[in-house]
Amino acid sequence: MFEKRQADDQEFSLLKDHNTVYKLIGPALVPQDQAEAKSNVEKRLEFIRGEMYVYSSYECHPVEC
């Protein structure tokens, strides 16, 4: 999941201002503002990094305990 979000973030750097970004909502693709979409991906990456840090800071991982 983390790698997918990083790839999404890299793809945003390739977009031009006139490109349209779509969001999948149910069975429909809905146009979304480019800045909003990029912000959402960045927030998800921050959250995932935070969760990875918390998980790595356990002396005994919850799965192994």
Q: Closest by alpha carbon to 38, among 59, 19, 65?
A: 19
The continuous run of DSSP H or E covering 46 comes out as: helix 34-57
> Would you say residue 65 lies in a domain?
no
Residue 2 is predicted with a pLDDT of: 62
For residues 51 and 4, what is the distance between their CA atoms, to the nearest angstrom? 16
Residue 24 is predicted with a pLDDT of: 92
Percent of the chain with pLDDT over 90: 28
For residues 14 and 44, what is the distance between their CA atoms, to the nearest angstrom? 19
pTM of the model: 0.65
Which residue would you say has higher pLDDT here, 18 or 6? 18
* Residue 53 banded pLDDT, cuts 50, 70, 90: confident
Domain that holds residue 48: 2-57
For residues 60 and 14, what is the distance between their CA atoms, to the nearest angstrom? 41
> Would you say residue 8 lies in a domain?
yes
* Residue 38 banded pLDDT, cuts 50, 70, 90: confident
CATH of the domain at 31: 1.10.287.370
> Would you say residue 39 lies in a domain?
yes
Report how many domains make up the chain: 1
